[in-house]
Chains A and B, each alone.
Chain A
Amino acid sequence: SQQGEEDPQALSIQEGENATMNCSYKTSINNLQWYRQNSGRGLVHLILIRSNEREKHSGRLRVTLDTSKKSSSLLITASRAADTASYFCAALGGKLIFGQGTELSVKP
């Protein structure tokens, strides 16, 4: 089974709104990473948060990590139509295991 599981499976919002995606994982991790995938394309690394970090920012992205709950969240602020993509969390506990992804649709 997948190490990372994202919630929701799909999210549709208006441009300018914030989008929050959650990820849960099952075992101890070294780090957790978020990736983005445009339809049919390769994954693009967005941000990495280490197991001893609780929050990390990168531009309009904010990632939190709660190792006690084995969960992480990705917040995209002031979303744009170009943010429309699938977002995957990947938990590293020896090898990188990806979740099923959240499909984000941002409507102009």
Chain B
Amino acid sequence: DSGVTQTPKHLITATGQRVTLRCSPRSGDLSVYWYQQSLDQGLQFLIQYYNGEERAKGNILERFSAQQFPDLHSELNLSSLELGDSALYFCASSPDMVSGIPYEQYFGPGTRLTVT
């Protein structure tokens, strides 16, 4: 158990809908990362938050957005869902960055999103 929790575990929804995935980082970790893993694209970094502020952006679509709240939990919002958005979505957290270099990341169990 990494200490990172994600809800829900599974989500099945229809095209055009909007969903929210939730992540609680390990106690004390300020950084939260979101990843998408699909068979054809592999593990793709989406976005990172550090203590409530967006820190880095990866291959995140404009239909997707995220935020990190004062209690450090994070939410990933996916809207206007398409079939191709079906994937595993992982959240990870890591301890404070020292000299700007992140430590190892601790991954949650993931949310499996199926868009039908």
By secondary structure, the A interface counts as strand
Give the tally of cross-chain contacts (CB within 8 A): 54
A95 touches B2 (CB 8 A): no
B42 touches A101 (CB 8 A): yes
A12 at the B interface (CB under 8 A): no
Interface with A: B14-22, B61-69, B70-78, B107-115, which one? B107-115
A43 at the B interface (CB under 8 A): yes
By secondary structure, the B interface counts as strand
B101: chain A residues within 8 A (beta carbon): 30-31, 92
B43 touches A98 (CB 8 A): yes
B84 at the A interface (CB under 8 A): no
B104 touches A33 (CB 8 A): yes
A42 touches B104 (CB 8 A): no
On A, residues with C-beta under 8 Å from B are 2, 30-31, 33, 35, 40-45, 48, 88, 92, 94-101
Q: 10 closest pairs, A vs B, by CB?
A: A42-B107, A45-B104, A98-B43, A43-B107, A100-B42, A95-B56, A30-B101, A42-B109, A48-B104, A42-B108
What are some 12 contacts across the A-B interface (CB < 8 A)?
A41-B110, A42-B4, A42-B90, A43-B90, A92-B101, A94-B56, A95-B45, A95-B56, A95-B58, A98-B45, A100-B43, A101-B42
